[in-house]
Amino acid sequence: MGSITTIAPCGINCTLCHAFQDVKKKCPGCRSKIGVIRKSCLNCAISNCDKKTNYCFECMEYPCKQLKYLDKQYQLRYKMSILENLDYIRQKGEEAFIVSQNEKYTCPDCGKLRTVHYDYCIYCKQEKKK
């Protein structure tokens, strides 16, 4: 069992997701048992996978076609490899993964976590709107 619930089975760090950072309609994260999980997350092929492993790398079919597709999308659109994330978690553990992610994605201006989905910081942008 994973101790850190904000890392999705596919290796995406939910705290870096724009849905998780959304103040108005905050998504609780893919593994959450409470709250309303974003539809796009619920409908994703990995969420609907019936293998039910804690992380995708525990699966016999790892890396499967769906996961490789998702990885390609993330590399192209958001410059992040979820396969690399999964390898990192497998080799160094969840705690170390979170530490390295925090280092990489902390906003230099406000100190909060940036999202991988946008090339700007959601928090700083909201500040500017006030």
| Binding site residues, Zn ion, CB under 5 A | 107, 109-110, 121, 123-124
Cβ-contact 19, 38 below 8 angstroms: yes
Q: Least Å distance between CB 21 and Zn ion?
A: 11
Report the C-alpha gap between 77 and 25 in whole angstroms. 23
Residue closer to Zn ion by CB (options 69, 120) is 120
Structure tokens at 32: 């959450």
- Which lies closer to Zn ion via its Cβ, residue 95 or residue 109? 109
Q: Which is nearer to Zn ion, 26 or 51 (CB)?
A: 26
Rounded to a whole number of angstroms, the minimum distance from the CB of residue 129 to Zn ion is 13
CA 9, 10, 12, 13: dihedral to nearest 10 degrees?
A: 20
Residue 111, both tokens: 């100190």
Residue 16 C-beta: closest distance to Zn ion, Å: 13
